[in-house]
């Protein structure tokens, strides 16, 4: 019987470990949310011949463990102290509905995977290949994934996920990667697959992760109309772009931090981008309780977002950047359609956000770009920091006339 793990945070002050054998429920004080089966079906990757010294190529052993897991359903353990060097893409490509892979470590800084190739392909490719069939459950937990020092400009993503329901990437530290971290790609054009639309279902969780020094996106959904992700308690720092929903069903970012994001190919790109794709009705989102600091481009750009909320976030306008002069935040929320066809932003609530005024640089909280495509938008109760020395602060710019935009802003 599959166990369900319910986790009690460590800071409660006591440890509870309760096993109800009849229901197969374990309550454990490890603070995580990763769903796993019992330890008896976990297999050490070294059982498949992995050396784990960081220099030996362990790709074949890792792939053998994944192939066996597809059949047997076991989790793959990367033990503490091991560094698994991988030199080509690891694949999990079932031809029918299957459980997802479960790759678990023993903590960040203890269980490591060295991403050591640059042919533009991902480190992990978890795709379902059959129309109407899906991968369900599983994920990655308690791992550190990194690239060796030096330029690896042609790296692909770390995780490429398609046709996978209920995945979870939990407590993983990804650093020094010259590609995206998590991508949900559109498989159109992949002639080897029976149905290019079968990939368009991917629902997952990113929890307690840290992505740092990323030469790409932290999370990106590209034209996958049923892709949805929830990002909870994560830190995305020094990514070229933090989170992008460019086609997809939803993006929900809760209680996370974004620092020093937004410089991609010498352009100032948004930290969070929600963008409509042709033929879609709009993108749903929630951005709640986050810290947005030191980005080079706008913190949030909306291009065809609908039924969304931006609430209880802190917009920090002071610079904090490794990119030198000129890379400081100038814009909080950007409604620029920027040539995106049909980019109508509707039914959006922006409420109870905190804006920390800069004493040095100009800053605009919201720019509507005089676009009639911005309609039915409510802005309420923005809290501005009480800094009398602030200069160049614009609260709301280019508000279009004839649109249903309501601004109620009593707090100073």
Count CB atoms within 10 A of the CB of residue 110.
16
| 3-class state of residue 62 by DSSP | helix
Tell me the mean pLDDT in the region 31-36. Answer: 38
**Above 80 in pLDDT, residue 65?**
yes
What is residue 225's predicted lDDT score, i.e. its pLDDT?
Answer: 52
Give the tens place of pLDDT for each residue, 161-210.
Answer: 887 888 899 999 999 888 889 888 754 433 333 333 444 456 789 999 99
| Alpha-carbon distances of 4 from 38, 74, 183, 235, rounded to whole Å | 9, 15, 27, 27
**Above 60 in pLDDT, residue 120?**
yes
- Closest alpha carbon to 90 in 122, 138, 53: 122
Q: What CA–CA distance (Å, rounded) separates 149 from 153?
A: 12
Pick from 79-88, 221-230, 371-380 the range whose average pLDDT is largest: 79-88
Tell me the mean pLDDT in the region 269-289. Answer: 75
**Above 60 in pLDDT, residue 99?**
yes
Strand 83-86 relative to strand 112-115: parallel, antiparallel, unpaired?
A: parallel
In Å, how far from its chain's centre is CA 203? 12
What is residue 378's predicted lDDT score, i.e. its pLDDT?
Answer: 92
The full set of domains in the chain, from first to last, is 1-31 (no CATH), 37-408 (2.160.20.10)
Q: What CA–CA distance (Å, rounded) separates 35 from 32?
A: 9
What is residue 14's predicted lDDT score, i.e. its pLDDT?
Answer: 32
End-to-end CA distance of the chain: 57
Among 159-168, 208-217, 218-227, the least confident range = 218-227
| Top-confidence residue, 189 or 334 | 334
Residue 141 structure tokens: 């937990």
Angle at 253 between CA 249 and CA 255, to 5 degrees: 160
| Confidence band, pLDDT 50/70/90 cuts, at residue 112 | very high
Residue 43 structure tokens: 């297999």
Residue 133 · residue 170 · CB < 8 Å: no
| Confidence band, pLDDT 50/70/90 cuts, at residue 128 | confident
**Above 70 in pLDDT, residue 33?**
no
Give the tens place of pLDDT for each residue, 351-397.
Answer: 999 987 666 667 888 988 888 878 889 999 888 875 545 556 788 88
**Above 90 in pLDDT, residue 266?**
no
| Top-confidence residue, 140 or 120 | 140
Q: Which residue has the tokens 């994920």?
A: 139
What is residue 37's predicted lDDT score, i.e. its pLDDT?
Answer: 42
Residue 241 · residue 275 · CB < 8 Å: no
What is residue 4's predicted lDDT score, i.e. its pLDDT?
Answer: 36
Tell me the mean pLDDT in the region 269-274. Answer: 83
Pick from 86-90, 131-135, 202-206, 292-296 the range whose average pLDDT is largest: 86-90
| Top-confidence residue, 400 or 151 | 400
- Closest alpha carbon to 136 in 92, 186, 101: 101
Angle at 175 between CA 333 and CA 143, to 5 degrees: 115
Q: What CA–CA distance (Å, rounded) separates 317 from 299?
A: 10
């Amino acid at each position: 019987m599959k166990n369900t793990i319910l986790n009690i945070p460590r800071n409660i002050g006591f440890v509870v470990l309760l096993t109800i054998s009849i229901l197969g429920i374990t309550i454990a004080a490890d603070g995580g949310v990763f769903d796993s089966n019992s330890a008896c079906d976990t297999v050490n990757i070294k059982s498949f011949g992995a050396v784990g010294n960081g220099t030996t190529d362990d790709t074949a052993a890792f792939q053998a463990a994944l192939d066996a897991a597809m059949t047997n359903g076991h989790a793959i353990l990367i033990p503490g102290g091991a560094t698994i060097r991988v030199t080509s893409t690891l694949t999990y490509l079932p031809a029918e509905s299957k459980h997802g892979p479960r790759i678990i470590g023993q903590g960040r800084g203890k269980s490591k995977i060295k991403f050591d190739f640059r042919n533009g392909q991902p480190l992990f490719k978890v795709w379902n290949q059959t129309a109407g069939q899906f991968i369900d459950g599983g994920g990655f937990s308690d791992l550190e994934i990194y690239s060796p020092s030096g330029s690896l400009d042609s790296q692909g993503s770390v995780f490429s996920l398609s046709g996978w329901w209920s995945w979870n990437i939990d407590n993983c530290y990804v650093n020094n990667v010259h590609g995206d971290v998590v991508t949900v790609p559109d498989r159109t054009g992949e002639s080897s697959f029976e149905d290019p639309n079968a990939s368009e279902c991917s629902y997952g969780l990113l929890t307690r992760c840290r992505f740092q020094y990323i030469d790409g996106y932290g999370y990106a959904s590209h034209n996958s109309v049923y892709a949805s992700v929830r990002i909870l308690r994560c830190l995305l720092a020094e990514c070229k772009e933090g989170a992008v929903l460019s086609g997809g069903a939803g993006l929900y970012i809760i209680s996370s931090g974004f620092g020093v994001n937004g410089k991609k190919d010498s352009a100032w790109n948004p930290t969070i981008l929600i963008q409509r794709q042709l033929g879609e009705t709009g993108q749903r989102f929630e951005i709640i309780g986050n810290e947005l600091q030191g980005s080079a481009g706008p913190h949030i750009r909306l291009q065809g977002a609908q039924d969304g909320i931006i609430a209880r976030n802190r917009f920090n306008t002071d610079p904090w950047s490794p990119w030198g002069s000129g890379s400081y935040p100038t814009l909080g929320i950007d409604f620029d359609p920027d040539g995106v066809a049909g980019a109508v932003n509707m039914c959006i609530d922006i409420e109870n956000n905190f804006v920390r005024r800069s004493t040095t640089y100009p800053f605009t909280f919201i720019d509507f770009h005089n676009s009639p495509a911005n309609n039915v938008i409510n802005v309420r109760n923005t809290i501005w920091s009480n800094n009398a020395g602030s200069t160049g602060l614009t609260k709301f710019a280019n508000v279009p006339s004839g649109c249903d935009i309501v601004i109620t802003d009593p707090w100073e």
